[in-house]
């Protein structure tokens, strides 16, 4: 019996922005595979194509070469099974916390039609997500009335509102102070352990990558390639105390050495 296909597959994927002499190669011969329910992180030098990789997975961009496959289907347009959160929470300033979280239910099919027929299950789900991340009682607050960390919690809830199978995170905690960032690591880990959706996290923070992910991909300088796939079987649930564990410290040192190697540009694939 053939082994099941990975949930996300990149087969020698390339991506080029622009044309002619102004063309910029962002990714070159990028190959990776992600199992359903896996939490992976992608790290590498600035400008190596990490965010471009997320756009390809979501279908916001099409590959210049190679194939991107999600859930057994080649990605040729934006897909509905994705939730996304970014460094900037991008909350709508005129909507309350609850109504920001409800937004995907209003626009993503088939939820849109179901939401129009009966809002109550979606409101209950949104309230439950906010309760899970510690925002019970803040449902009617506007974004300006929330701290940065609270806004990012709201953004995570919004990304999970339509129960996506795949969560894409692009530096979601990069703009937060260290204490809030570490607090949200625990929040995200708890959400993932409870629901086991597939997660692709792009981050510059190696501690964050090791705290949250089980598999880490290291990318080269532009044009980005996968230099290393490394699985770290560190016990869960992880805590800040875990970051002082000798196994965590050794894994962090190993990752740092690979990042130093990744800063050396790789010749374009021919």
User: pLDDT for 192-215, tens place per residue?
Assistant: 999 999 999 999 999 999 999 999
Query: CA-to-CA distance for 216 and 205, rounded, in angstroms?
Result: 12
Can you tell me the mean pLDDT for 136-143?
A: 97
pLDDT, tens only, 36-62: 999 999 998 888 888 999 999 999 999
**135, 153 contact by CB (below 8 A):** yes
As given in the structure block, the two tokens for residue 238 are 């992880």
Can you tell me the mean pLDDT for 257-269?
A: 66
- Look up the pTM and report it: 0.91
Q: How far is CA 266 from CA 29, 219, 243, in A?
A: 11, 10, 32
What are the start-end ranges of the E strands in 1-43?
Answer: 8-17, 24-34, 39-43
**What pLDDT is attached to residue 23?**
84
Query: CA-to-CA distance for 174 and 51, rounded, in angstroms?
Result: 14
Share the mean pLDDT of the chain. Answer: 91
Q: C-alpha dihedral over 100, 170, 135, 187, to 10 degrees?
A: 150
Question: DSSP letter at 224?
Answer: B
Query: How far out from the chain centre does Cα 38 lie?
Result: 12
Query: CA-to-CA distance for 31 and 224, rounded, in angstroms?
Result: 11
Q: How far is CA 92 from CA 58, 109, 163, 170, 259, in A?
A: 22, 20, 20, 19, 36
pLDDT band at 1 (very low <50, low <70, confident <90, very high): low
pLDDT, tens only, 148-202: 999 999 999 999 999 999 999 999 998 889 999 999 999 999 999 999 999 999 9
The percentage of the chain sitting over the pLDDT mark of 70, rounded to a whole number, equals 96
CA end-to-end distance (rounded Å), the chain: 36
């Amino acid at each position: 019996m053939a082994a099941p296909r990975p949930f996300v597959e990149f087969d020698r994927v390339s991506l080029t922005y622009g044309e002619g002499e102004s063309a910029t190669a962002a990714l070159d011969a990028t190959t990776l595979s992600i199992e359903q329910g896996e939490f992976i992180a992608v790290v590498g030098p600035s400008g190596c194509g990490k965010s471009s990789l997320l756009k390809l997975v979501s279908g916001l961009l099409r590959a210049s070469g190679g194939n991107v496959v999600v859930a057994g289907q080649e990605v040729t347009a934006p897909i509905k099974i994705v939730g996304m959160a970014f460094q900037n929470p991008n909350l709508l300033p005129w909507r309350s916390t609850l109504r920001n979280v409800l937004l995907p239910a209003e626009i993503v099919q088939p939820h849109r039609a179901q939401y129009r027929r009966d809002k109550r299950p979606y409101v209950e789900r949104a309230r439950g997500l906010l309760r899970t991340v510690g925002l019970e009682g803040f449902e009617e607050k506007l974004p300006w009335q929330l701290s940065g960390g609270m806004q990012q919690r709201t953004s995570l809830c919004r990304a999970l509102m339509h129960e996506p199978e795949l969560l894409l995170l692009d530096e979601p905690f990069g703009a937060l102070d260290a204490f809030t960032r570490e607090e949200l690591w625990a929040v995200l880990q708890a959400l993932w352990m409870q629901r086991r959706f597939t997660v692709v996290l792009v981050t510059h923070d190696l501690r964050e990558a090791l705290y949250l992910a089980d598999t880490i991909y290291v990318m080269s300088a532009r044009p980005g390639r996968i230099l290393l796939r490394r699985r770290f079987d560190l016990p869960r649930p992880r805590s800040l105390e875990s970051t002082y564990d000798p196994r965590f410290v050794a894994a962090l040192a190993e990752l740092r050495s690979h990042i130093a190697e990744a800063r050396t540009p790789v010749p374009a694939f021919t």
